[in-house]
Amino acid sequence: MDAVAAQQPEIRRAADWFAEAILAGGMVHVFGSGHSRIMVEEMWPRYGSFPGFNPIVELALTFHTPVVGANGQRQAMFLENVPGLAERILRNFDLKPPDAALVVSSSGCNVVSVEMAEGFRARGLKVVAIVSLRHCEASQSRHPRGVKLPDVADLVLDTGAPAGDAMVNVPGLATPVSPGSTVGGCLLVNAVKAEVADRLTRAGRPPKVLTAPALVGGKASEALFEAAYDEHARRMARLYAGLGSDEDSG
């Protein structure tokens, strides 16, 4: 909590960018590979979240619960360091301002996360990165140019996790356990989310928040879900409308 509180100026700045994008009819594109997928889905869609965010989750980079064999962790870790994969992902969307982006990577060193941030920025989007700075500084970049995610982001938020991520030392065990980047990352994305909701509401555009029946009753909850999903669909439609137009005109 202290690490999040210390970053209030950066959190507010990220929220300013994201709210501006949403108010202008754009989207905030959220990407993470591996376990960073958790922060992507924490942002949207779940209780207490609202439209305006586009979760970009590649199953090949995140579906590794079999651990070994088909769709295993070895393949996912290999693919997240393949140059050019990020551009193939981004090719699916017509990305341009007023959109913004959030890229999450604990180490900030894998190729796909760095190239996603570079691809967003090349298209004119402001990019916020969530990393574990101490882990990032202690890690070696896998990118051919040696760059890390903080090097190619407009703003960096730090989860506060230590180098190596794991935080608990067990007597008699040589290596620590219990990683902290997900806890810090979830605190950060929800702090940003709350700030964005405040800005949208003060602008006269209160968001349609996915809300549990326990709070508002079944009918109101269902109405909020349907309205939020419909708004998400309309916002997503813009991302596909212009695909290939430049190629066709050439």
Main-chain dihedrals φ then ψ at residue 156, nearest 5 degrees = -125, 130
In the predicted structure, residue 245 carries a pLDDT above the cut 80? no
CATH number at residue 128: 3.40.50.10490
| Other beta carbons less than 10 A from residue 71's beta carbon | 14
Cβ burial, residue 45 (10 Å; 0-12/13-18/19+) = middle
Question: What rounded mean pLDDT belongs to the chain?
Answer: 95
Number of domains forming the structure of the chain: 1
* Residue range(s) defining the domain that contains residue 96: 2-249
Question: Binning pLDDT at 50, 70 and 90, where does residue 1 land?
Answer: low
Tell me the one-letter amino acid at 170. Answer: V
In the predicted structure, residue 250 carries a pLDDT above the cut 60? no
CA distance 51 to 206: 11
pTM: 0.94
Question: Binning pLDDT at 50, 70 and 90, where does residue 249 land?
Answer: very low
In the predicted structure, residue 3 carries a pLDDT above the cut 90? no
pLDDT in tens, 31-88: 999 999 999 999 999 999 999 999 999 999 998 889 999 999 999 999 999 999 999 9
Q: Residue 118 has what pLDDT?
A: 98
In the predicted structure, residue 248 carries a pLDDT above the cut 50? no
Q: Residue 246 has what pLDDT?
A: 62
Main-chain dihedrals φ then ψ at residue 87, nearest 5 degrees = -65, -35
pLDDT in tens, 92-132: 999 999 999 999 999 999 999 999 999 999 999 999 999 99
Give every CB contact of residue 206 below 8 A, 6+ residues apart in sequence.
197, 200
pLDDT in tens, 180-236: 999 999 999 999 999 999 999 999 999 999 999 999 999 999 999 999 999 999 999
